[in-house]
């Protein structure tokens, strides 16, 4: 059995050395209150690269790491490898296209033919060090193998696999960087030392986009990182707290904002440099911070407290007894909590985050999510 520390450490550390695919059904639409009618004319194909914010089972299937109940309790009614009580942002985005949920690339038993793309995101992933599984660089290398093998099979006569046109018209989502910044603070680096690492992180994201572009990808959807200083885990771990008016760690959030600004400028640079590309930058930080700062307006209580953890108020987090480990306590199903386990968000929060993303109000340039499959 995994130790009480292990899963928590995976979620904010560079990953150690060394989903199941569900068909979308219109029956699911009522549970997504902000469903948007998709204008897709072509089959939507998505390749996602990232960390636990979008891992739909990569850690569980790739390493056999146990992610048990109560994870998955509110929607899937069983653990699926997602670190939440239900669906993640990526699930809602797929659902908005009437598309199947993305299957983890590493899932050998899910039965997926990967006809709608693949999810390379794995819990704990970061950009650096670049050759440690499952860094962004490793995820891109996995994609290159996936593409080469798919085209080989297509050329040999296999049907229903993604062909060259499918790869060219696909959407490439990148949502990574949170663990790079969080791990830097966890190593007791100063704020100045943490921020000095940001250019190296951005370089890895730039390299990933360019590699995918050179492989024919032209449509990119890039999320910035959220307010790290508002995570119950960080608030519990940090002894000397420099809190903002909403109770979040100012230094952590300042570092996240600086990372986001450099990432925004990178997207601007790449739009000019990569001909015929569409690169959409999405301000996830603004969406999540608004949820926390105005939680009561959205019907949430205790925005800095985990639903599932231990210790009770103010954070209900203890790294020795994390969600799912012996001794944990969990809020009642249906309770309005933003944070699920001290690090990740609840399905209720993810639903609102998705509706904000789909609104285009937080995207630059303002672009509908289905832009890549409309023609």
Hey, which residues are catalytic here? Answer: 52, 341, 344
Within 10 angstroms of residue 272's Cβ, the number of other Cβ atoms is 9
Both tokens assigned to 161:
């696999």
Place of tokens 């699920």: 340
Neighbour-count burial of 157, counting CB atoms closer than 10 A to its CB (0-12 exposed, 13-18 middle, 19+ buried): exposed
Within 10 angstroms of residue 293's Cβ, the number of other Cβ atoms is 17
Residues 6+ apart with CB under 8 A from 186: 12, 13, 237
Angle between helix 347-358 and 284-293 (nearest 10): 130
Contact status, residue 29 vs residue 101, Cβ threshold 8 Å: no
Contact status, residue 260 vs residue 201, Cβ threshold 8 Å: no
């Amino acid at each position: 059995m995994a130790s009480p520390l292990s899963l928590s450490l995976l979620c904010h550390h560079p990953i150690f050395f060394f989903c199941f695919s569900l068909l979308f059904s219109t029956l699911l639409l009522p549970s997504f209150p902000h469903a948007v009618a998709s204008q897709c004319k072509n089959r939507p194909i998505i390749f996602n690269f990232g960390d636990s914010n979008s891992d739909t089972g990569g850690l569980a299937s790739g390493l056999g790491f146990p992610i048990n109940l109560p994870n998955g309790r509110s929607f899937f009614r069983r653990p699926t490898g997602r670190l939440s009580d239900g669906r993640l942002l990526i699930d809602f985005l797929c659902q908005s296209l009437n598309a199947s949920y993305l299957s983890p690339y590493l899932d050998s038993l899910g039965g997926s033919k990967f006809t709608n793309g693949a999810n390379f995101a794995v819990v704990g992933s970061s950009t650096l060090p670049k050759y440690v599984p499952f860094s962004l660089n490793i995820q891109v290398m996995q994609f290159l193998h996936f593409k080469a093998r798919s085209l080989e099979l297509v050329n040999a006569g296999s049907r229903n696999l993604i062909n060259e046109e499918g790869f060219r018209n696909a959407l490439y989502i990148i949502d990574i960087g949170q663990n790079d910044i969080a791990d830097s603070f966890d190593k007791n680096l100063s704020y100045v030392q943490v921020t000095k690492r940001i250019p190296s992180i951005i370089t890895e994201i730039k390299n990933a986009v360019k590699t995918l572009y050179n492989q024919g990808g032209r449509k990119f959807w890039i999320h910035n990182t959220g307010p790290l200083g508002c995570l119950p885990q960080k608030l519990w771990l940090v002894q000397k707290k420099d809190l903002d008016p909403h109770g979040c760690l100012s230094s952590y959030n300042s570092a996240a904002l600086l990372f986001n600004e450099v990432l925004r400028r990178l997207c601007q640079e790449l739009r000019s440099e990569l001909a015929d590309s569409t690169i959409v930058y999405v301000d996830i930080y603004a969406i999540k911070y608004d949820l926390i700062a105005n939680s009561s307006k959205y019907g949430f209580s205790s925005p800095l407290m985990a639903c599932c953890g231990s210790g009770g108020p103010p954070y209900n987090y203890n790294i020795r007894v994390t969600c799912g480990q012996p001794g944990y306590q969990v809020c009642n199903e249906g309770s309005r909590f933003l944070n699920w386990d001290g690090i990740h968000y609840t399905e209720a929060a993810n639903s609102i985050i998705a509706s904000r993303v789909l609104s285009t109000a937080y995207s630059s340039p303002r672009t509908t999510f289905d832009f890549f499959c409309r023609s």
